[in-house]
Chain A
C-alpha cells in the first residue's frame, strides 16, 4: 500500500543543513498497525508528515496505493489527503468556534458532500465515538479525551485508508491515553492502516509492528 524508497528530507537553517530523514526505505501493507518511536529530533514527525503528504521529501520516491505521489501538485495532494488520509495531532487542532459536530463535519464540508449525506455520516460517527451527547459542545467545554475522540472522528469522516497520529496521547493522562488508543485500535480492526508516533513505550508496544528511528534512519523494524 505504501512504498517509500530513498526518502530524504533536509532542512536548511541558515548555513546549516539538518538531515531530518536519511534514505528511508519502508513498505507498509494495507491494514497494518505500526508505532514509530525514537529520541526527540530523530525525524518521527517529519516521517509522518511525508507519509501524510503534508511535507515533500527532497529526494526519493513515494508510492501510495500504487500511485506515485512524489510529484503531485499542491491541489492534487490536498485531494489525496482529503480522500485517503486522516490526521490526528497531539494538540487536537479543533477549531474553537465550531461545535464538536461541526468540527467532525469539516472534512465533509470541504469535500462538498450534500448536507443530507453529511448528516447521515455525522450521526454514525458521533455514535461510533460516543459523542452524541456532546455534538453541540464547543472544544473548550470538552475534556482532553473527548477532544481527541472528536479529532479521531473528524479524521475518519471521509473514510480514509491511512490514519496517521502524531503523539495522540501526548496531552492526555495515562488512563485517557489508553482509552484513545483503544479507539484508534478499533479503527485498525475495521481494516484501516494506522501509524502512531509515540514516546510512551507501553503504547508503542501495543502495535504489531514497531519502528525505531534514530537520527533520521530506521534503526529497528520489529514485527
Chain B
C-alpha cells in the first residue's frame, strides 16, 4: 500500500467520524497546549530573572561579609562564627589586583528623609564616586558624588527620580538642602528613572558619600563591595585576587562570599530550567490521559469496523497493512492535535503576555518539539493494542453476521 493511499484512507475514516475525531483532537490538543503554555511561563520566569541579573553588568563581582556554603548561590547560610566585618580598608586593598578596574564600597540603611514638613522613609546608600560607573546608572540632572578620599565626605546627596518627585514636586531639586536623620545634605544630582532591578527600586533611594553613611548609621562595616573587573574574561582572575587579598588581611580566614554574575546566573538558570521541565512534564501527563482515550475510541472503532476489516483481509490486506491503517489514523490525529495545541498554546502565551507585559513569556523550542513528539508517541503506543486486535481478526468471523 502506497503512503498517499494509506493517508487518504485514514483521512476518510477520520472525516467520516467527525465527532470522534473532534473529541480526540480536543483531548490531545489541550494536553499539548498545556505543555506549551506552562513551559512558556517557566521560560518567561527564567528569562526575566536572567535579564534582571544581566542588567547588573557582566564584569561585576560582588563581595559580602561571611561565607556562604554554596558558591554562587545567594548568601544566607553562614558557616561557624559571626563573620569578621568587611571594612573600607579591605576594599581599598583590592586596588592591588591588576584585574580590578574600579570598585564601590556600599553601606545600606533606612533613613528618614525630610524637606520642610514633608518626610519619607527611604533606603539610603553610602558609597563612592565610582558607584555610578560600576552599576552603569545614568543621571537625569546634576552630577554624581565627587571623587576624592572616601574617608572624608562633603554633605551632598544624589536622589532617585521618585524621591525627587515626591519631595520637590515640580520644583527644581538641585541645590536644595534636605535632612536625613539629624544631618543636612545638599542635592547635587537626580538619578534617571530606571525602575526595578534585582528587586531594588533605584528610583526610591538616596545616595550619600560613604563616610557620611558611616557616621549616619554609626558603623564601619560594609554591606557589600561592588567590583568591576577589567573585562569579562578577567572576572575569574579578579575573583581569585580578591579572595587572596581579603584572606591575607583577615589572618588567613576565608570569610567573605564572592558573587559573580555568571555564577549566579548559572544557578538560577539551572533551577528555573529544571522547574520548567518539571511543570512541563506534569502537563504532559494530560497527554497520557488523552492516550487512554485514543485507545478506547480505537477499540470501539475496531468493533464497529469488523466487517470492513474482514473485507480488507478477504481482498488481500495483510495483518501489517491493517495495523498500518490504524497507526496512520493515530499519527494523523496526533499531528492534528499537536498543530491545534501549539496554536492554542501560543494564543495562551500571548494572553498571559498581555496580562504581564514585563515578563518575556515564550515557550522554548524544545518544549514545542517535546509536546508534539509526546503526542505522537502516546498516540502510537496506545494504538498498538487496538491495531493488533484488528490485524488478528478472523476474516470469516468478521464478515459473517454472527
Using CB atoms and an 8 Å cutoff, list the residues of chain A in contact with chain B.
Answer: 49, 52, 54-55, 74-75, 78-79, 81-83, 87, 89, 91, 93, 95, 97-98, 106-107, 109-112, 154-155, 158
CA distance A112 to B399 in the complex (A): 24
* In the complex, residue of chain B having the shortest beta-carbon distance to the beta carbon of A106: B315
Q: Given A52, A98, A111, which contacts B314 in the complex, CB threshold below 8 Å? A: A52
> What's the least CB distance linking A87 to chain B, in Å?
5
> What's the least CB distance linking B9 to chain A, in Å?
7
Contacts between chains A and B (CB distance < 8 A), count: 64
> Quick check: A112 and B318 within 8 Å, CB to CB?
no
Can you spell out 21 A-B residue pairs with CB atoms less than 8 angstroms apart? A54-B314, A54-B395, A54-B396, A54-B399, A55-B396, A75-B319, A78-B313, A78-B317, A78-B318, A78-B319, A79-B318, A87-B315, A93-B307, A93-B310, A95-B308, A97-B13, A97-B16, A107-B315, A109-B5, A110-B315, A110-B321
> What's the least CB distance linking B353 to chain A, in Å?
43
* B320 interface residue per 8 A CB criterion: yes
Q: Given B2, B307, B316, which contacts A79 in the complex, CB threshold below 8 Å? A: B316
Q: Mark B1-32, 1 if CB is under 8 A from A, else 0.
A: 11001000100110110000000000000000
> Quick check: B320 and A75 within 8 Å, CB to CB?
yes
Interface size class of B (residues with CB under 8 A): 20 to 34
Most chain A CB within 10 A, of B9, B16, B319, is at: B9
The answer to whether residues A109 and B399 also contact, given A79-B318, A82-B315 and a CB cut-off of 8 A, is no
17 additional A-B pairs beyond A78-B313, A81-B316, A112-B5, beta carbons within 8 Å, are A54-B313, A54-B396, A75-B318, A75-B320, A79-B318, A82-B315, A82-B316, A83-B316, A91-B401, A93-B399, A97-B15, A107-B316, A109-B1, A109-B9, A111-B316, A112-B2, A154-B315
Inter-chain contacts of A98 with B (CB < 8 A): 12
Inter-chain contacts of A89 with B (CB < 8 A): 399
Q: Given B5, B13, B16, B316, which contacts A78 in the complex, CB threshold below 8 Å? A: B316
CA distance A110 to B2 in the complex (A): 8
> Quick check: A110 and B317 within 8 Å, CB to CB?
yes
> Quick check: A158 and B316 within 8 Å, CB to CB?
yes
Inter-chain contacts of A82 with B (CB < 8 A): 315-317
* B340 interface residue per 8 A CB criterion: no
Most chain B CB within 10 A, of A54, A78, A158, is at: A78
> What's the least CB distance linking A12 to chain B, in Å?
14
Most chain A CB within 10 A, of B16, B315, B399, is at: B315
Most chain A CB within 10 A, of B310, B313, B396, is at: B396
> Quick check: B316 and A110 within 8 Å, CB to CB?
yes
